[in-house]
Structure 1
Amino acid sequence: MLYPAPHYSSALEQAVDRYPVAVTPDTSVAEAIALISQLQNHCPFPQDLRLEPDRSDSRTLIQPTGIRANCILVVDKPTPLCTEFVAQPPEQSTLLGIFTPRNLLQLIATGILDHPEEATLDHIRIGEVMSIPICQLTESEDQDIFTALSMFRQHQILHLPVVNSQGHLVGVVTPARIRQVLQPSNILRTRRVADEIITDVLTAPVNTSVLTLAQMMATHPIGCVVIHNQLATHKLEPVGIVTAEDIVLAQFLQLNLAETTAATIMGIPQFSLKVQDSLWLAHQEMQARQLQRLLVSNNQGQLQGIITQMSLLRMLDPTEMYRVIRQLKQSVYKLQAEKMELLRSRNIKLEKQVQERTAQLQEQLQRERLLAKISLQIHQSLNLDEILNTTVAELRDFLSSDRVVIYQILNSGVGELVAESVGEGWRSLSENRLNESVINYYKYTFFDQNIYIVEDIEKARISKEKLQILSDKKILAYLVVPIIQDGQLWGTIEVHHCQKSRHWLPSETNLLQQLATQLAIAIYQAQLYQQVQALNTDLEKQVLDRTAELQRKVQELQQLNILKDEFLSTVPHELRTPLSNMKMAIYMLKLAPTAQRQQVYFDILENECVRETNLINDLLNLQKLEAENIPISLDLLNLVNWIPRITQPFYSRANSRKLVLNVELPPDLPSVRTNTSSLERIIAELLNNACKYTIEGGEINLKLETLPIKSDLQVSHKLRLQIANQAQIPEQELPRIFDKFYRVQNADPWKQGGTGLGLALVEKLIEQLEGKIEVTSQNGWTTFTIDFPI
């Protein structure tokens, strides 16, 4: 049955939940999860995942009015609650332990629930995984609600069991119930959310698995994770919140925690506090929305932290305020007593100490300012010379010394002066160097101690030679500190006192050592910057070179694209023209009435077939010449007899175009060893082009001769073939006439056609014969000159 809630006079009694859920240690974890899941005041899950209690199930919780504690108390003996799972007051039972959502998170985080074949929720007893209460509150008249608040804060807990004087369980106190009872409006209205905000919160993206969230909460004291979207400014935009209770509910629904994402179970925040809001507003929102935590964001919607029930209750805990007040009072009394005693007995001594302390503080302040100034200079500038010059100037002014210098040890073993600050009336050491013996002495000294001090050169153990060097520099006292970089002596800082001897204070030596450390950092940064600059310069050069190379490649690709277009516009036409002629001849054969007409069409068929065959062979031969080095056979050729034979067909062609073909052969032209078919193809292509492009009535000249080649070792000869015709090729077109498929624009007024392969094939054949071809075009003549070795 449901007992009516009694009326309690004190705030603590009203805050006790006297209807806690209590079970025996033999209860399974699965049943415990079901109970905790049904204790939640709200369900953040989507509609299809929400837990709808079965009204016909006798185990459905009957919740009394008020906020219920979402924990399970483990007691020693069964009660009606334990057997019927209904909310009733505990009866004469002793508290053994407590099971909260954090216990379940620990099970999930440690992987116990990952192996259902070994340990399922139905087989694990709650007595095996419960927590032994850290503390419990005994119900008495001496206890008040602030005692509970102090225990919450001291033990970092959210559930406080309450027992009577006989040790029997009475109920449980939670921060939510205390906050509901107190209604601390006056105090909370005066404080801002910014005073109690918790900024150290756990955050995770929306696609994080629930298992990962459980592991995060198990290792941190905060019982929730803020789910966020990542903004472009690297700020967090909260979109929801997942609590330990949500994970308990997910476990109760038997969701796959490793595959279920935070977006599935998170509670979408319908309200977000601002840092300037009052804690009273936070209190009201928690009550109205039945929440234990609220998000805090700025005006741009970016996450700032969270406010919890404990944040609100902390304002009401007088323990901390009393402790601070007592300490302040004790400190005030002590300070007043000390002040009176000092004023009575040691007024003069106090003034002296105050003056000394003030001087020390001023000196310390000056040292800190100097270090800060030099450190700022180091961070703001990567110019090593500027940093070193600033250091020596500031150091000389601070120490009131006559000269401060910095030496750098070179690879040769000597010390070069790299920075100097000299007082008025004293000589500069800019031309001075530290010899190798001085550097070695410094290295030996610095091996045992980090500083070298001489307060009076007359009293120091210094050799006569070194004493003379110091006297020449007008040095009476000096201080040397090493600059160590990567374990090696980079250089030294030297402070010279030239007016008189000087006692160096420990604060001064410490300052120099700190400055030496700062300079070592500056030197490293400057060297690193120089290396980066060098790398950047080299990289820029590489980028420029690569860009130029890419531009060349682009130009080549563009040229190839142009050639491709020319090929696609020229070659298909040249290939189709013979086929069209053959097709027309075949058609006319069918209609020819006489044998004489048929023979005409047969001749056309034969000529066009030969033309098509030659074109295809040119393409194949050119491709073969470009793809590999084809071996050729060489024959002994008598040019005097051979040239007239191969040029004979071109006389008739020249006459048909009203051209004059002149062939000049010396009678003593020697025989040469060459490939006859290749040489014939070269001459035929050049004569064919000459006949095709020479103006009407023009001349074509072919000339063969031998020329000597002189060298230091022997005298050899070469065969020169020249073919010239009256035609002009524009100068800008000459470099491209040997390209495949390239034809000079507007150079074929008779529209005789062509594929642009002839000269490309000629060039490859000449290369195969180890020859060389050159072309010139000027004064209306174009001349091809070919040299072959003999």
Structure 2
Amino acid sequence: MLYPAPHYSSALEQAVDRYPVTVTPDTSVAEVIALISQLQNHCPFPRDLRQEPDKSDSRTLMQPTGIRSNCILVVDKPTPIGAEIVAEPPEKSNLLGIFTPRDLLQLIATGILDNPEETTLEHIRIGEVMSRPICQITESEDQDIFTALSMFRQHQILHLPVLNCQGHLVGVVTPERIRKVLQPSNILRTRRVADEIIADVLTAPVNTSVLTLAQMMATHPIGCVVIHNQLTTNKLEPVGIVTAENIVLAQFIQLNLAETTAETIMGIPQFSLKVKDSLWRAHQEMQARQLQRLLVSNDQGELQGIITQMSLLRMLDPTEMYRVIRQLQQSVYQLQSEKIELLRSRNIKLEKQVQERTAQLHEQLQRERLLAKISLQIHQSLNLDDILNTTVAELRNFLSSDRVVIYQILNTGVGKLVAESVGKGWRSLSEHRLTEEVINYYQYAFNDHHIYTVEEIETAQISSEELQILSDKEILAYLVVPILQDGQLWGTIEVHHCQKSRYWLPSETNLLQQLATQLAIAIYQAQLYQQVQALNTDLEQQVLDRTAELQRKVQELQQLNILKDEFLSTVSHELMTPLSNMKMAIYMLKLAPTPERQQVYFDILENECLRETNLINDLLNLQNLEAANIPISLDMLNLVNWIPRITQPFYSRAQSRKLVLNVELSPDLSPVRTNTSSLERIIAELLNNACKYTIECGEINLKLETIETRYDLEVSQKLRLQIANQAEIPEQELPRIFDKFYRVQNADPWKQGGTGLGLALVEKLIEQLNGKIEVTSQNGWTTFTIDFPI
């Protein structure tokens, strides 16, 4: 069955103050301040400072009993009786503005009221300083009290004008009136003051001037200042509270705000909440004491914050209501669970007794299973590592410990870790060794008890050095059992408990002693087996080594044969091509009809002869470099003057190919000691390749600079040469570009030819100069980087 949604219009109607105080724009600020002063529910000032209203004054408020909002509404029409100020329901009046204590604070803070001689409050009209309403609500069935609450939170206001359908003023709604109408006791009882406390409050000493307080409150949304005594640097003792209404009263009785201190006008708190109090108590105290704010302090009387009307109204949010309902439901479920738990408690006790007896039987079966499994492992395998690793893993799982290790005592007198099982989250001791002092201490302890246990290292009688070692290993309790072989200490089994202290049961110590005996037998069998295996392995290894050596020799011979065939094929082709071209040119010379044609063939002969000569020279140079037969001489070279000279020919070559050649020299280049011809050949080969393979209209960049490298405290310098061009080499081809006669496939669309010896020669020349070359190719650029030591 569907129920209609509830309407809250009745609650909103009850919360509307239909007798708001209204004035016309021509009313003076002094009169408005007087009205706001009379609207307050109580006066904190001493009686000699108070000013009682004149009951004979026709403007005295004739208001119905109940809560009145401390704001003045400015309307366009005068009152029906001809006076400027009334407290009757507005009739067809249009709302022009609103004036609240916060607006008065703004006037004081901005200095408008500082010089009463020049501008008195009687001469300032309320229409000049009033605020335009930030928002307003229209009275209708579609509007409910939650709409007003949302507008209070969204716009940070405390007064919400209410208009009728014609736009005429009906009244005003405040948080206090909403709280009095709803009184959400169930919700407020379930929440604590700590949930809604406002800790960010303004505080000031008792000697602070009222003018300063007004300036502080003008920009703060809470609208009050807590007056305090300083207990310590971070602890305050509240002694009073000053609100915007207090400052209105001070202005009304014409006190000098700059000279009057907070102690004069503050309201002395007779009561303060505790953080553990409920919001319902805060609501009741506000209602009983007619206050809009309450101080919150701890048990020592130190200030914690305040609770305001808006803090209570925030609990009326539908989301908060839903959360409270969920909490109540959870409480019901918890009570039901507790009842069920009580019914189950007796069964649990019986089940626990059965489980204890079952656990004892299970533990005994587990011990027997562990011993049987390790014994089976010993008989099935003679591999000592497998036996030891199985032992530590099974033992850690059975004892539910954090770490189990086995140490072997070496001939040097120290203990080496040979097996370990570590639980998740704990550090491995794989690099740790037992010192000779620790081993001697264990041997002394084993003479009496054949086992060594520590249930809690903090209470054990151990030295501070040993305590520090155990703390470093994260050990809180441990157990050590010796592994004896022929009466000699072979090693130890150690069980570490790292989470907390542990009492070692007799059954557990007996189990470890039995395991130590089984391991001693397994170790003896494994040692015999290892000796036999070592003899067989030595013979097999000798056979394998001889066989591998023969195979390696055969592979080397096969590789040399392949390299020989490739070399002869490449060299014969590269040598025969120029010879064939020369032979054809000679033949064409005999048939040439004119001297011009003869000159063409002579040029071909000359170029091919030069090509043949260069190829032979490159082969000879490369052979000499590989054999390290060519001694080099080093000379001082001025790079700043030398580089432009050797790169000059490449400008014209780049221009003929529509390329751009950029040369960048670092200004701090100093003369270097190098072989001039080798360095010139390196740069020439790299620039030749760049001109040959760069795309049309591309760029070639040559950069030469000095870089510094630091190693520890030493600083060294290198000469760095970079040549980059717009051409990309496939990544899989990069490792082979320095091989002899190797050319990247499909990288020469212009069919310019080449021997494939250039980069191989460059690499050898760089090695001769103790340099290093690296090449990268990506994003359409190939970059050669060469570093030479200085």
TM above 0.5, one fold? no
Give the TM-score taking structure 2 as reference length: 0.41
Give the TM-score taking structure 1 as reference length: 0.41
